[in-house]
Chain A
Amino acid sequence: MTMDTMAAIRQTFFQECEEQLSEMEMGLLAMDEGNADSETVNAVFRAVHSIKGGAGAFKLTELVQFAHSFETALDHVRSGKLTPTPDMMKVMLRAADVLADLVEASRDGQAIDESSYASVAGDIKALTASAGQDEEAEEVIDFQPTVIDFGLPELPAEAPAAAIHEYRINFRPRPELYANANETVLVFREMKRLGELEAVCDASAVPLLEEVDPNGAYLAWSVKLSSELAIDAVREVFEFVEGEADLAIETDGQPEVSDTDIAALLAMALGTTPSSEPTPAEGPPANPPEAAAESPPETPQPGPTPASVQPPESAKSDVKTSSATVPAQTTIRVEFDRVDRLINLVGELVINQAMLSQRVIEANFAGSSSVVIGLEELEQLTREIQESVMAIRAQPVKPLFQRMARIVREVADVTGKEVRLKTEGETTEVDKTVVERLAEPLTHMIRNAVDHGIESPEARIAAGKPAEGVVRLTAAHRSGRIIIEVSDDGAGINRQKVRASAIKKGLIPPDAQLSDSDIDNLLFLPGFSTAATVSNISGRGVGMDVVKRSIVALGGRISISSRPGHGSTFSMSLPLTLAVLDGMAVSVAGQTLVVPLTAIVETLKPKKHEIHALGSDGRVMSIRNTFVPLIDVGTQLGFRDTPTEPERGVAILVETGGGARNALLVDSIQDQRQVVIKSLETNYGTVAGIAAATILGDGRVALILDVDALVTRSFNDPLASELRYGTGG
């Protein structure tokens, strides 16, 4: 095997690790919520187990060792030896964090400092020890759950470790098995590796030659297998043919139920009787094995027949949620480069289609209805293709939200608070880039919510609230945008303190008249925060301006609302994709420019008396008795030397990320449209005042204005423009 192949496999392993980690985290959080049903516990166990298995193959010793002790602890939960308690779940969640760290460190080839997670490893081991089991006896434990969980009183709870088990397996492949290119011989070969094998083929169902369906399946086997391995190992052999064959496995004289019934019964036994010693009284589902044993005579097959097991109704209804098999979504892995290439091509297609439409109109084809209809269809198809392609890049916000759970835990630990993160709408999808670029501002907001929003447990109790604070993180689609909200049930913003602090820092004049929401928005002012970096968690309002800037850079908006004593809510509205933008096309000095719609507040037709000169060449416009700076876009961008007459143009009132309002003077408004964003940087570089470029229907390039930069540039003093907001409203 070449190094390349190994590297590729390794890469796949780590990709899968991500999925497993996310699965694990999700399950642990569900357990933490009190939903420790067997399906959930099993999912967590499987995830950790897979990571351990893969890590073993790559000789990632630390990872294997830690995963092993974690897995052991989980197995005790699975077997009912441990009942999840809040304290235990804390340890488990921390162990999950460590596991994630170890995976990351192993992936990046970083050195692993064992002392960094020694305490968590110790806690996990303590959990295992408290279950009263020697860790080395793990193999035995592995075996136990399947036996105990059926509530079979006949079987001893502690099975001898190295006993030879006799399995009798009835295996009758269905035609689907062969149709799916599975091969019975492989199954037998696999079984043979488990132990001594004795197979008898039952050919009694084979019809006469002329009646044979070439695609049919007529053979069945009854197999006698002596193995010291647990039934799980035997079952694993049949994993690939699951659902494609009638299968019954009996062990040591006791029939076993199979497949989904196993899960159902596990759920039953674990969910209802988490104690480790099942008694006959606790085993309402004790009849399925009998049902299995009884079923063969019922079937009119001559040979050894499969045991088709019907679990009793009671068991079925009890475990409806966990045993319901949701058809798995099939997925493929595709490199992002390929998707991006496709998106680029579709972007060009959209432009081309627009150009074609325009040419047709210019050529006066309008009379020919078939051409027009064809064009309309093309337009619709193009739009659909574009939407579908964009959807490929769309990702649920779930992984992002899961990361936030960890941040909450960590900050809560550091600050000594009790905080629970509740998430909603994790399945809401948004462009991958948006998800990625949201991580940092969101992390910061979550930190702030825990650090500053939620009070200490004592203060909460004093205020008549539960000691545990709640941070709520929600996502939802609303009118073509994604709305993400971070709210806490803490004390809310201390407006007096904020105001005093802003006055002290000279951000607002001492006599400024501010509404409550004005004061709340002061948090977003640059210079309000005391620390400079996002990673710092001290000081109120740390770098909220940084948060706001990153949100605005994504084409989003952020707002804040707060009720004293009830907490604060930060609400973000973001575009679903960064590839297209809703904009207003305007004309300036013969050029077409696009103003992002998110920045626009309103458009106005300036009247002469509304324009006032200020300073040597400055102009302001009066809008409902407030004065906003009037920026001539043409001169600002150097398209013309002398400013245009305001009455002859149109003013677009815009709001920058900082909340400052300015009026942009343009010659005329063309229309509102969705444009495909094209980078100027790729072949040229950044241009002050210009965010990006797009291509118009006539094939020409139009520039998209960077409103913030344009406004800031006109003052060359960002603070001054921000100030305007505080005083002018």
Chain B
Amino acid sequence: MENTEQSTNTANREFVAFRVGSQEFCVDIMGVREIRGWTPATPLPHAPAYVRGVINLRGAVLPIVDLAMRFGLGLTEPTPRSVIIVVQIHQQVVGLLVDAVSDILTSSEASMQPTPDIASDMAKNFVKGVYAVDGRMISIVTLESVLPISEKAAA
């Protein structure tokens, strides 16, 4: 029992690191279904501003969440270099619009540091913890809170 616990703590997990504005974030690679280029999305009526619309992902309708807007960093101007990270959150598949994918990180749970305590709603709501990689700070995104669930219920 002790062994397994230890192994989950120290076992290396992989993360996809990406850039939103000037900040770096990452998500667990196990939740990432694919990474694809930006295609124009069909806007949804009455959707929150960070939901850029829906795109066709091989026959499925995929909502696109603008992470910068979601994090309160302003609307992303999509460029040809913009990337959609398709992630699965519980039963839903959602595309996250980010500026660029920067890295695949290998790190362990143990080396995760708690989110520095600052008075930012974004940090409190969306960041699970941070990694220090080569002097950079990479925030681990809580995927669950990215979903537009609360707004959905309200709408």
Query: Among residues 673 to 729 in chain A, which have CB atoms less than 8 Å away from a CB atom of chain B?
Result: 678-680, 682-690, 693, 695, 699-703
Say yes or no: is A544 at the interface (Cβ < 8 Å to chain B): no
Say yes or no: is A321 at the interface (Cβ < 8 Å to chain B): no
Say yes or no: is A106 at the interface (Cβ < 8 Å to chain B): no
Q: How far is the CA of A101 from the CA of B116 in the complex (A)?
A: 63
Contact A347 B40 (CB under 8 A): no
Closest CB in chain B relative to A347 CB, distance in Å: 6
Q: How far is the CA of A680 from the CA of B62 in the complex (A)?
A: 8
Contact B63 A688 (CB under 8 A): no
Interface pairs A-B: 6 shortest CB-CB: A348-B59, A637-B45, A685-B152, A684-B63, A701-B42, A693-B61
Say yes or no: is A365 at the interface (Cβ < 8 Å to chain B): no
Query: Which of A678, A683, A686, A689 has most B Cβ within 10 Å?
Result: A683
Residues of B within 8 Å of A638, CB to CB, are 45-46
Set B41, B46, B148, B149: member contacting A688, Cβ < 8 A: B46
- By beta carbon, the residue of chain A nearest B62 is A683
Say yes or no: is B84 at the interface (Cβ < 8 Å to chain A): no
Say yes or no: is A639 at the interface (Cβ < 8 Å to chain B): yes
Closest CB in chain A relative to B43 CB, distance in Å: 7
Say yes or no: is A380 at the interface (Cβ < 8 Å to chain B): no
Contact with A along B113-151 (1 / 0, CB 8 A): 000000000000000000000000000000000001100
Set B51, B56, B152, B155: member contacting A700, Cβ < 8 A: B56
Say yes or no: is B35 at the interface (Cβ < 8 Å to chain A): no
Say yes or no: is B110 at the interface (Cβ < 8 Å to chain A): no
Q: Knowing A344-B59, A683-B92, A684-B54 are in contact, say whether A700-B44 is a contact too (CB < 8 A).
A: no
- By beta carbon, the residue of chain A nearest B63 is A684
- By beta carbon, the residue of chain A nearest B47 is A687
Contact with A along B14-44 (1 / 0, CB 8 A): 0000000000000000000000000111111
Say yes or no: is B94 at the interface (Cβ < 8 Å to chain A): yes
Residues of A within 8 Å of B46, CB to CB, are 637-638, 687-689
Contact A689 B56 (CB under 8 A): no
Say yes or no: is A591 at the interface (Cβ < 8 Å to chain B): yes
Q: How far is the CA of A160 from the CA of B93 in the complex (A)?
A: 73
Contact with B along A647-683 (1 / 0, CB 8 A): 0000000000000000000000000000000111011
Q: Please classify how large the interface on chain B is, using the bins under 10, 10 to 19, 20 to 34, 35 or more.
A: 20 to 34
Contact A700 B42 (CB under 8 A): yes
Say yes or no: is B55 at the interface (Cβ < 8 Å to chain A): yes
Closest CB in chain A relative to B39 CB, distance in Å: 8
Contact B92 A682 (CB under 8 A): yes
Set B40, B61, B155: member contacting A683, Cβ < 8 A: B61
Say yes or no: is A351 at the interface (Cβ < 8 Å to chain B): yes
Closest CB in chain B relative to A291 CB, distance in Å: 65
Q: How far is the CA of A686 from the CA of B44 in the complex (A)?
A: 10
Residues of B within 8 Å of A686, CB to CB, are 152
Query: Among residues 36 to 79 in chain B, which have CB atoms less than 8 Å away from a CB atom of chain A?
Result: 39-47, 51, 53-56, 58-63
Q: Knowing A683-B93, A693-B54 are in contact, say whether A688-B61 is a contact too (CB < 8 A).
A: no
A-B contacts besides A683-B62, A684-B61, A687-B155, 7 pairs, CB < 8 Å: A636-B45, A683-B61, A683-B92, A699-B39, A699-B56, A701-B42, A701-B55
Q: How far is the CA of A347 from the CA of B53 in the complex (A)?
A: 22
Contact A680 B45 (CB under 8 A): no
Q: How far is the CA of A716 from the CA of B110 in the complex (A)?
A: 54
Residues of B within 8 Å of A683, CB to CB, are 60-63, 92-94
Closest CB in chain A relative to B46 CB, distance in Å: 6
- By beta carbon, the residue of chain B nearest A699 is B56
Q: How far is the CA of A687 from the CA of B63 in the complex (A)?
A: 12
A: residues with CB less than 8 A from B are 344, 347-348, 351, 591, 636-639, 678-680, 682-690, 693, 695, 699-703
Contact B61 A678 (CB under 8 A): yes
Residues of B within 8 Å of A344, CB to CB, are 59
Closest CB in chain A relative to B45 CB, distance in Å: 4
Contact B155 A688 (CB under 8 A): yes
Residues of A within 8 Å of B59, CB to CB, are 344, 347-348, 351, 678, 695
Q: How far is the CA of A637 from the CA of B42 in the complex (A)?
A: 13
Q: How far is the CA of A348 from the CA of B58 in the complex (A)?
A: 7
Residues of A within 8 Å of B155, CB to CB, are 685, 687-688
Residues of B within 8 Å of A690, CB to CB, are 44-45
B: residues with CB less than 8 A from A are 39-47, 51, 53-56, 58-63, 91-94, 148-149, 152, 155
Closest CB in chain B relative to A705 CB, distance in Å: 10
- By beta carbon, the residue of chain A nearest B92 is A683
Q: How far is the CA of A348 from the CA of B42 in the complex (A)?
A: 18
- By beta carbon, the residue of chain B nearest A690 is B45
Residues of B within 8 Å of A688, CB to CB, are 45-46, 155
Q: How far is the CA of A355 from the CA of B43 in the complex (A)?
A: 21
Residues of A within 8 Å of B58, CB to CB, are 348
Contact B45 A682 (CB under 8 A): no
Closest CB in chain A relative to B49 CB, distance in Å: 11
- By beta carbon, the residue of chain B nearest A345 is B59
- By beta carbon, the residue of chain B nearest A676 is B59
Q: How far is the CA of A683 from the CA of B65 in the complex (A)?
A: 12
Contact B61 A701 (CB under 8 A): yes
Q: Knowing A678-B61, A693-B61 are in contact, say whether A701-B54 is a contact too (CB < 8 A).
A: yes
Set A636, A637, A679: member contacting B61, Cβ < 8 A: A679
Q: How far is the CA of A399 from the CA of B56 in the complex (A)?
A: 38
In the complex, 25 of the A-B residue pairs with CB atoms within 8 angstroms, ordered by the A residue number, are A344-B59, A348-B58, A351-B56, A591-B43, A637-B46, A638-B45, A638-B46, A639-B45, A680-B44, A682-B93, A683-B92, A684-B61, A684-B63, A684-B148, A685-B152, A687-B44, A688-B155, A700-B39, A700-B42, A700-B56, A701-B41, A701-B53, A701-B54, A701-B55, A702-B42
Q: How far is the CA of A591 from the CA of B61 in the complex (A)?
A: 16
Residues of A within 8 Å of B92, CB to CB, are 682-684
Q: How far is the CA of A701 from the CA of B93 in the complex (A)?
A: 16
- By beta carbon, the residue of chain B nearest A692 is B61
Q: How far is the CA of A348 from the CA of B60 in the complex (A)?
A: 9
Contact A695 B44 (CB under 8 A): no
Q: Knowing A683-B94, A688-B155, A693-B54 are in contact, say whether A703-B42 is a contact too (CB < 8 A).
A: yes
Residues of B within 8 Å of A701, CB to CB, are 41-42, 53-56, 61
Q: How far is the CA of A636 from the CA of B93 in the complex (A)?
A: 28
Closest CB in chain A relative to B38 CB, distance in Å: 13
Residues of B within 8 Å of A684, CB to CB, are 44, 51, 54, 61, 63, 92, 148, 152
Q: How far is the CA of A701 from the CA of B43 in the complex (A)?
A: 9
Q: How far is the CA of A687 from the CA of B149 in the complex (A)?
A: 12
Residues of A within 8 Å of B93, CB to CB, are 682-683
Query: Which of B41, B43, B56 has most A Cβ within 10 Å?
Result: B56
Q: How far is the CA of A699 from the CA of B152 in the complex (A)?
A: 26
Closest CB in chain A relative to B129 CB, distance in Å: 27
Contact B61 A700 (CB under 8 A): no
Residues of B within 8 Å of A637, CB to CB, are 45-46
Residues of B within 8 Å of A693, CB to CB, are 42, 54, 61
Contact B56 A687 (CB under 8 A): no
Q: Knowing A683-B94, A701-B55 are in contact, say whether A678-B60 is a contact too (CB < 8 A).
A: yes
Q: How far is the CA of A329 from the CA of B50 in the complex (A)?
A: 55
Residues of B within 8 Å of A689, CB to CB, are 45-46
Q: How far is the CA of A638 from the CA of B44 in the complex (A)?
A: 9
Closest CB in chain B relative to A678 CB, distance in Å: 5
